[in-house]
Structure 1
Amino acid sequence: MTNFRKYASSAVFRNFVYLNLTQVINYIFPFVTFPYVSRIFSQDNYGLIITATAFASYLGLFTDFGFNLSATRDIAKEAKENPLAINRIFNSVITAKIVLYFVFLIPLCGFIFISDKYSRHASIFMWYFAGVFGNLLFPTWYFQATNNMQNIAKFNLLSRVLGVLLLFLIVRNNDDLLNFAIMNAVISLIIGVLAIYIVISKYHIHLKLSFKFTALLVTIKEGFASFTAVLLISFYTTFNSLLLSWFCGYKDVAIYGVADKIIGIVLTVQGALIQAVYPSITAEEQGSIIKHKTLKLFRYNIFLGVMICVFLNLFAPLIIHIFTGHKYDLSIPVLRILSLVPIIMAFSSALSTYCFALKKERYQVYAYIIGVIYCIMANLILIKNYTYFAVSYNYLLCEIISLFALYLFIKNIKSR
């Protein structure tokens, strides 16, 4: 009993509880919004939403630039000892994010406007890009590193409630696509500004943007390895929707996107576990402790992964029909293919966390490069003939190839 009380009062346990609360919120609200959106919009319009989201995700990825991992690690190491260092890291990261946002926004907007395929929906894309600015302001990495997960849960709940209320108020038929895009952007901006205000007023962070080139370069360099890893992962996750929209059509994007969305919803518990344990593992200096904690993470994660996989396979038709009706029956086999992702994620998240804790992120990058090379080549060859089936199978194969390569790299580290 004493051990349980000690564990229940620990930062890791509190992190896990609050992050699970956040993920429960993320889990519950899509049961309301996702069926409504997938039904009210045509397959073409829903596919367009997924495509715009994918473009915005890339802008967000380049804006975050791996800071959600590197800044979390750096602040976690300073949290008890150096408030001035925390303030410096916070300002450096926010400044770097703003600079990167505009650096990548300009060419991305140029591409949208000159593309015959996307330019007619330019206003939709622009509002999704505006929403990214709100996301860059939200300091998940700061709350996570300083064990203030309750703020993430509160803000997440607020954004979800606002989203549901506005969804039913202003999105009523297939013609309200622009309203939907504006709604999401405005909510994102409101939440981002409020979060920054809380950090400044409650946690005594003095916001001071500094655009000195050398300081920005150092901050960007800190996040480069983890950014590269996330970018490479995106080539066989987010990039799939863009490939389908370019080579096939928005309907194919929608069919794949429905299954991918459901996978994203059920992965929330695994994601909470990884986020909760990550600061604790990366703050350690001793290799044996890092290994022990990583193995613990893996055991819990593989159990969750197998349970999720079995559940999705058994109930795939029922899940699709509950969420979207019979309009997306073609998504059923895609969901069954992607049901293996949670099991692969258990392995890859443990190995990735282990690498990052040892500051050997480059091995993760090397492993993903191998997987991405296969993914891009295979998709370019197969996507026109096999559409969403091609990207689904290639997604799994890329994960497996990258995972095996990363294992070999880690084994090489240990044998030295």
Structure 2
Amino acid sequence: MSPSNKKGLASNTAALLSLQLANYILPLLVTPYLTRTLGISIYGVVAFGLAISQIACIITDYGFNLSATYQIAKESDNKEQIRKICGAVFTCKVILLIPVLFLLSAFIHFSTNYNEYHDYFWLLLLPIIGQTFQPTWLFQGIEKMAYMTIFTVTSRICVLGLTIIFVAGPQDYSFVAITTGLANIFAALIGIAFMLKLGYSPSWSSWSFTRKIFDESTEFFWSRAALASYTAGTTFFLGIFSTPVQVAYYAAAEQLYKGAQSFITPLTQALYPYMARNKDVSLFAKILKYTVLLSILGCVAGVLIGKQVLALIFGHSFIDAYPTLILFMLLFLITTPSVLLGYPFLGALGDTKTANRSVIYAGLVQITLLLICYLLELKLAVQVLATTLIAEAFVLTFRGYKAVQIGKQLSNPGESDSPALAK
């Protein structure tokens, strides 16, 4: 690996780390304010709505954050082709908003448990639209993560400020959707402005090219959709079949889990386009080893001081979320190597099928387990989270087995003609 490539990887990782810390720290400042201002039940309703918006954004993203990033990284020297990819992606996103609007309308119409909160759920369209048009995939693909960091951090700061200004009591819960929506839209506008400034204004190619970009992202979408079944989908399950209090317990513990993940995610995001070009397996192995060791230390810390942290950040009413937090810490130990073995390793070496299918199969496992929870009336946050733990363990096992195979092939290149290594 050349010094310039190392420097670029380090710079992009630093920018993404700053981004992830902002994505965690700033919401972590908002969440304690909301838990205390709204109360545990109303906060559970708000968290449920935000989970719905996350699911909607998975549909409008349609896997482009992975597929378009990869396509743009391969066309890094062809600005005109990148502009065509941008045009195709934005066109697809506009079209994908249509089924999202239909599904949200159907939920609001048929859900009887949240009749008094309909205005809040309609206002979720604002953050959904804002998130949909943020061109994060472009800046990851051209490895200009600093631009992505700027507009994302700006939006997080806006959310914090606007929430403190407009949310003064339980009656102001709808303003959470408004403030989050305005901040997301502002971030999208800044991101598009940077995109135009760098000369990547979207250009129209043809419907056939747009369809090609859409089709190439389909497998990524199904893997993201399956992933949603044991991330935001778990919150959705609790929101439908359990109580807002259980949703609140789950959401609070998940915030701390996401905080731990915020130290890992930037590394995986920076590694993906880098490994797609350089395929530096020896560097990847070192990163994997040290990252897993750090995750073990973080997990131990979370178990030891979890109760105190929950009470300090969210309030004493959230101490009962501690068993859920313990499972999240165990989940963190599993997802850390699993995520690194996914797209940064298997995907970058050409085996995107394993990276995607592992998640799709795990999604089916999760759906089956959630069905069992429904039939047995297991509706506590800790019980539902246990299904996610099993699903993620499946993903790690599936990816780990394939990664070992590829490792053996790399050690004995003459023994295999694996297409994953031919790229």
TM-score of the aligned structures, taking structure 2 as reference length: 0.90
Cα drift, residue 377 of structure 1: 2.2
Deviation at residue 116 of structure 1 after TM alignment: 1.5
Rounded Cα–Cα distance in structure 2 between residues aligned with 1:370 and 1:206: 38
Q: Mark the CA change 1:16 to 1:410 in structure 2 (over 3 Å): closer, same or farther.
A: closer
Which amino acid letter does the alignment assign opposite residue 294 of structure 1?
A: F
1:125 aligned to 2:115? no
Paired with 2:107 and 2:329, the residues of 1 have a C-alpha distance of 34
1:111 offset after TM fit, Å? 2.6
Structure 1: which 5+ runs fail to align? none
> In the alignment, is the contact (CA less than 8 A) between 1:131 and 1:185 conserved in 2?
yes
Aligned to 1:273: 267
Aligned residue type for 1:86: I
Asked if residue 324 in structure 1 is aligned to residue 337 in structure 2, the reply is no
Match of 1:291 in 2: 281
Does 2:201 correspond to 1:206? Answer: yes
Q: Tell me, yes or no, if the aligned pair for 2:48 and 2:247 is still in contact at 8 Å.
A: yes
- Contact map agreement 1:379 1:390 (CA 8 A) in 2: no
Name the stretch that deviates more: 170-179 or 341-350: 341-350
CA gap of 1:82–1:208, structure 2 versus 1, over 3 A, is closer
1:192-222 superposed Cα distances (whole Å, 9 cap, x missing partner) = 122112211x111233456x54333211111
Asked if 2 retains the 8 angstrom alpha-carbon contact of 1:270 and 1:304, the reply is no
Q: What is the match of residue 71 of structure 2?
A: 74
How many pairs are equivalent? 406
CA distance, structure 1, for counterparts of residue 63 and residue 28 of structure 2: 30
Contact 2:24-2:258 within 8 A present in 1 as well: no
Q: CA deviation at 1:63?
A: 0.7
Q: Could you tell me how far apart the structure 1 residues matched to 2:379 and 2:109 are?
A: 29
Aligned pair partner of 1:241 in 228, 235, 241: 235
CA RMSD, aligned part only?
A: 2.2
Q: Deviations over 1:173-210 (max 9, x none)?
A: 1110112211111111122122112211x111233456
- Is the aligned partner of 1:403 residue 2:396? yes
Following the alignment from structure 1 to structure 2, what is the Cα–Cα distance between the partners of residues 198 and 215?
25
User: Once the 2 structures are TM-superposed, how far is the Cα of residue 119 of structure 1 from its aligned partner?
Assistant: 4.3
Q: Secondary structure at the match of 2:263?
A: helix
Residue 325 (structure 2) aligned to one of 325, 332, 335: 335
1:348 aligns with 2:338: yes
In the other structure, the counterpart of 2:380 is: 387
Query: Per-residue CA shift, 1:201-255, capped at 9, x if unaligned?
Result: x111233456x54333211111122221121111111111111111112111111
Match 2:79 to one of 61, 77, 83: 83
Q: CA deviation at 1:386?
A: 4.8
Q: Deviations 1:368-410 (Å, cap 9, x if unpaired)?
A: 3332333222222235235212112111111112221233344
Q: Deviations over 1:89-119 (max 9, x none)?
A: 1111111111112233223322322222244
Which amino acid in the other structure matches residue 303 of structure 2?
N
Matching residue of 1:139 = 135
Assess if the C-alpha contact under 8 Å between 2:40 and 2:248 holds in 1.
yes
**Matched letter for residue 36 of structure 2:** R
Letter in 2 for 1:40: T
Partner Cα distance (1:84, 1:20) in 2: 30
- Give the gaps of 5 or more residues in structure 2: 410-414, 417-423
* Match status 1:97 vs 2:87: no
SS in 2 for 1:204: coil
Q: Which amino acid aligns with 1:10?
A: K
